[in-house]
Chain A
Amino acid sequence: MSVLRRFAFRLGSFFRREQIEEDLSEELRLHVEFQTEANIQAGMTPEEARRWALIDLGGIDQVKESYRDERRLRWLEDAGNDLRHSLRGLLRERAFTVTVLAIFALCVAANVAIFSVVDGILLKPLPFPDATGVYTVYDSYPKAGFDGGISVPHYIERGRDIAAFSESAAYRTVWLASGKRGSIKGIEALATSAGFFRLIRTEPALGRTFTEAETLLGSPHVVILSDALWRSQFQGDPAALGKVLVLDDEPYTVIGVMPASFHFPTVHPVAWVPLVFTKIEQTDLYRHAASIGAMCVRLRPRVTAQQARAQLDALNERTLKQDPYAKMVVDGAGYHPAINGLQATMVAHIRPTLTLLQVGALFLLLIGAVNLANLLAVRAVGRAREYSVRRALGAGSLRLGRSIVLETLVLSVTGGATGTALGFIALRLTFHTFSDRLPFEMSLDPDVRVCAVSMVGAVLSGIMLSAPIVWQTLRENLSVSLSSESRTGTTTGSVQRVRQALIIAQITLAFILLAGTGLLSVSLFNLLSVDPGFRPEHVLTGMFDLPAYRYPDAKRSALVVQISQRIQNLPGVSSAGISTLLPFTWNGGGAAIVFKDHKTKSEEAAEPHPVIGVAGNVFAALGVPLVQGRFLGDGDVGSPRKPCVVDTNFAQRFWPKGDALGAEITPDSGPNPEYYTIVGVVGAIRQNNLADDKEFGTMYVPYDGENNVMIALRTLDDPVSLGATLAKIVREVDPAIELHDVILMENRVGKSLSGRWVAVSLAGCFAGIALILAAIGIYGVLAYTVTQRRREIGVRMALGAQPGQILRMILSFGGRLLAIGLPIGVLGALFLGRAMASFLYGVRPGNVGVFLLVASLLSVATSAACVIPARRAAKVSPSEALRAI
């Protein structure tokens, strides 16, 4: 307390210095006057009295000085002086300052931008209260490569019977037609169970959430609006509660409005409706129809996920007894129930990419730091004489050390702050390029935690960067560095070695970063040249939804065939067709296929096979080749013969002898399936992921009344111009139908690689910067070495060394550093390549070509950085060098 008080007193004095000085002078002057008067009264003459008064005081200036010592915050004043001194120095050496600040800012910016995403997605809890205790329960089919989602019977049983769960809830995305006939728009909504909002501890801004009764089949429809929908449909009027919104041509009563900030799990849903299960969904036949997107649970207090897992397994043992597909899914697909942290599950797909980028950014930071250490060390040696003079004039080690630390801190904090700001700006500017790949919403506002981490990092790195300089400066021998022999001070062998080690570290780190980027680029290049199995060029695609309420099944097929034939007859269209799932639209999951003849194959067929409804000539439109038999066409829609087509993956898997035609199969695992007869085999295509070469095989059936319809047309010339015509045709058939997502097929394929593009371009940026930094580092040190060795070079040349020899000497110095740094880099790159194997496609972690390329790139950069100082060394004129120093 009293320490604090004294500090406050002195701090106060620090800011009232002039007043205090004045007071002190006045007080002392009065003291002398009083004493003089006293002396006169004692009988002295006025002159004598005054003289004795002054003597008595013992020197005004000495009193003042010791008074000031009590009063002042000496270190604060000194620090202020040092700060001014450093700022002046830094402003004078503008090139140095700008270089250092730029390096600092770049490295920090990259880290801040990426760490913001890592923090927002991986580290921060999900955006609702108590999020860490929420788990997700799902059905896992590891052998079929299918994970996630849960069936209705499993959801109901587990929510009811597992004692470990205190709460459970479920949700799935649904699309609803909003508005009245004539102006219908599709909106994305989330169907949630009654307990969903309670489980995520979120209240509506207005009204209430769903009751259990409202989730029962046949109960009156209710809807909760998003803030945006509330504002657009009801102008933000609180009286909207109780009003009716028409969705799918049925009245929904508005019962609540969510707050504008509520964005879980995504920003997309604009309304919430009760999750209602049909009777058939609840039967045993639907045990493996993963129709619910996610089941969330909270565990009871003191219950671990491990215990919950054991209970799930025990329950599963019992339910498998009444599961008609038990053998097929367990043996064939390795089915088991799974429980995992909700956030961990949601971020699982993006975690490796984010981790990779963060590691890359940290490497950059490391290289930047090494480079800065080098630059600062070189500069410190240049200033050794200044420091020596200051010490010779009496500056204490502490004071000198502190002024060095302060100067570095000025740089690191300024650079850190600039970098942090830049990082947030960069994130904002580039966010749209990858935001759709993030599993949930994250805020783009500058985050206090991120700022704090980066500023603490800046201060720490400032202190760490200044440590070697302080050490180097303080152990400098005064007499040596002050002597006229050397102008700029000398460098001891150990300092030189530290500096070389720093360069080697830079070369190593740059090699690793470059090699990692190289491997990623090669993978992307390989993927770009992958044959997707169809020809996406000149193909225009679009989608529309058939509102369920308007079209009974019979009418749907007729309507789709009508649209199909009209687009096929469009001028400029070479072929066109309809499909329920075009490649690279979304992951449609799949169905297990049942074989009429060889039931023994059921295990293998438990894998999810996409089953796609087609009409028109979609195979020709996409450019999928016919291998055997025939394509499906409009004539097959509604045909009682039920023909189907499979792709070569499927055919070769189950009929390796090529006798697939005529076999009967069905995607219906129910008790009385209708079989389809295979009439053709077509080429296999990559459905969703160019890197996925293990697709299980696709089954194409005639279109049969599905809601989501996609159009593909192959044109003779530019397909873009046909977009409007296409929309017009669809509108002519029924004005209520809206064509959306009209995109070139090429763009759909390209978009599937957008994540890789982001990763490769970021990694490329990092690697480029790393290369430049390494070159700067080498240049700086060599340039300095040449300056230092001028005299030695002069002597060598005077003794007959040729300029070429000098050039070689300096170049070989760089070569030696390279020769040590590269092999270490290769080891590191091998390690990194192994760690990022899952990102690689068609290239091995230890790809020799990539390594050679990177090595030569680094060698060229290093040599270029060596050449300038080496040439300067070779131009040294012996007489001048000897005379000058």
Chain B
Amino acid sequence: MTKEKAELLQGTLDMLILNALVLEPMHGFGLAVRLRQMSREVFQVEMGSLYPALCRIEGRGWIEAKWGTSDNNRKARYYSLTASGREQLGVESARWQVLSSTINAMLRAT
């Protein structure tokens, strides 16, 4: 369990969560696994950040939470993307594109 971990950039977690939920609703644990996989095991999402982040995003109306049953027929709380969440994801990823390409360009410039 010793892996090189990278700190998530402040504010990107929300965007990554939204992104992970684009395809299908997921429960918290699944989301943690998915995020780790998507980052090719680079990012270790702290549960102490994930659940509060889910709560925060829910408060903004970007995702909805519902109790449901998992594939292996177990109870779980599922999070799904709302229409405004989808919109927000577009806005944030576009902003991220601009930001990251700018920062890359600046780094190359030196």
Contact = CB atoms under 8 A, between A and B. Distances in A.
A38 B1 contact: no
Contact of A5 (B27, B61, B77): B61
B1 A52 contact: yes
Contact of B29 (A9, A30, A58, A63): A30
B52 A30 contact: no
Nearest to B29: A34
A26 B28 CA distance: 12
A597 interface: no
A63 B77 contact: no
A208 B83 CA distance: 62
B96 interface: no
A27 B75 CA distance: 9
Contact of A67 (B29, B51, B60): B51
Contacts of B32: 31
Interface string B27-54: 1111011000000000000111101100
Given A6-B60, A52-B1, A30 B77 contact: yes
A30 B1 contact: no
A418 to B, nearest CB: 40
A70 B52 contact: yes
B76 interface: yes
Given A2-B60, A6-B60, A57 B27 contact: no
A70 B47 contact: no
B77 A10 contact: no
A9 B51 contact: no
Q: Which of B32, B47, B48 has the most CB of A within 10 A?
A: B47
A6 B55 CA distance: 11
Interface in A134-151: none
A63 B51 contact: yes
Nearest to A35: B29
B74 interface: yes
Contact of A31 (B1, B29, B56): B29
Contacts of A71: 55, 59
Contacts of B61: 2, 5, 9
Contacts of B46: 58
Contacts of B67: 23
A270 to B, nearest CB: 64
Given A27-B77, A30-B76, A58 B27 contact: no
Contacts of B92: none
A268 to B, nearest CB: 63
Contacts of A67: 51-52, 55
A141 B1 CA distance: 106
Contacts of B1: 52
Contacts of A57: 47-48
A24 B75 CA distance: 13
A28 B51 contact: yes
Contact of A30 (B33, B49, B56, B75): B75
Nearest to B53: A70
A30 to B, nearest CB: 6
A642 B77 CA distance: 111
A810 B16 CA distance: 74
A69 interface: yes
Contacts, number: 67
A26 B61 CA distance: 22
A10 B55 CA distance: 10
B29 A66 contact: no
A23 B66 CA distance: 10
A56 interface: yes
A58 B46 CA distance: 7
A349 B58 CA distance: 66
A66 B60 contact: no
Contacts of B58: 9
Contact of B27 (A10, A30, A56): A30
B29 A62 contact: no
B51 A69 contact: no
A56 B59 contact: no
A231 B67 CA distance: 68
Given A58-B46, A62-B48, A70 B27 contact: no
B60 A30 contact: no
Contacts of A671: none
Nearest to A57: B47
B74 A30 contact: yes
A27 B48 contact: no
Contacts of A33: 74
Nearest to A2: B60
Interface in B60-110: 60-61, 67, 74-77
A59 interface: yes
Contacts of A63: 47-48, 51-52
Contacts of A62: 48
B48 A10 contact: no
A823 to B, nearest CB: 63
A5 B1 CA distance: 41
A5 to B, nearest CB: 6
A627 B45 CA distance: 114
Contacts of A35: 29
Contact of B59 (A10, A26, A31, A66): A10
Contacts of B76: 30, 34
B51 A27 contact: yes
A467 B95 CA distance: 46
A38 B75 CA distance: 16
B29 A59 contact: no
B75 A9 contact: no
Contact of A66 (B28, B33, B48): B48
Interface in A63-106: 63, 66-67, 69-71
A48 to B, nearest CB: 11
B28 A58 contact: no
A56 B47 contact: yes
Interface in B1-36: 1, 27-30, 32-33
Given A5-B60, A5-B61, A31 B55 contact: no
Interface string A609-631: 00000000000000000000000
A58 B52 contact: no
B77 A66 contact: no
Nearest to A72: B55
B8 to A, nearest CB: 15
Contacts of B55: 67, 70-71
A58 B48 contact: yes
Interface in A31-52: 31, 33-35, 38, 52
Contacts of A59: 48
Nearest to A10: B59
Contacts of B48: 57-59, 62-63, 66
Contacts of B27: 27, 30, 34
A23 B47 CA distance: 16
A23 B79 CA distance: 13
B29 A70 contact: no
Contacts of A38: 33
Interface in A1-30: 2, 5-6, 9-10, 23-24, 26-28, 30
A6 B75 CA distance: 28
Nearest to A71: B55
22 contacts: A2-B60, A5-B60, A5-B61, A6-B59, A9-B60, A9-B61, A10-B59, A27-B28, A27-B51, A27-B77, A28-B51, A31-B29, A31-B32, A34-B30, A35-B29, A57-B47, A58-B46, A58-B47, A59-B48, A66-B48, A66-B49, A71-B55
In order of increasing CB-CB distance, the 7 nearest A-B pairs are A34-B29, A9-B59, A70-B55, A70-B52, A57-B47, A66-B52, A31-B29
Interface of A: 2, 5-6, 9-10, 23-24, 26-28, 30-31, 33-35, 38, 52, 56-59, 62-63, 66-67, 69-71
Interface of B: 1, 27-30, 32-33, 46-49, 51-52, 55-56, 58-61, 67, 74-77
Given A52-B1, A58-B47, A63-B51, 12 more contacts: A6-B59, A26-B77, A30-B27, A31-B29, A33-B74, A34-B27, A57-B47, A57-B48, A58-B48, A63-B52, A70-B52, A71-B59
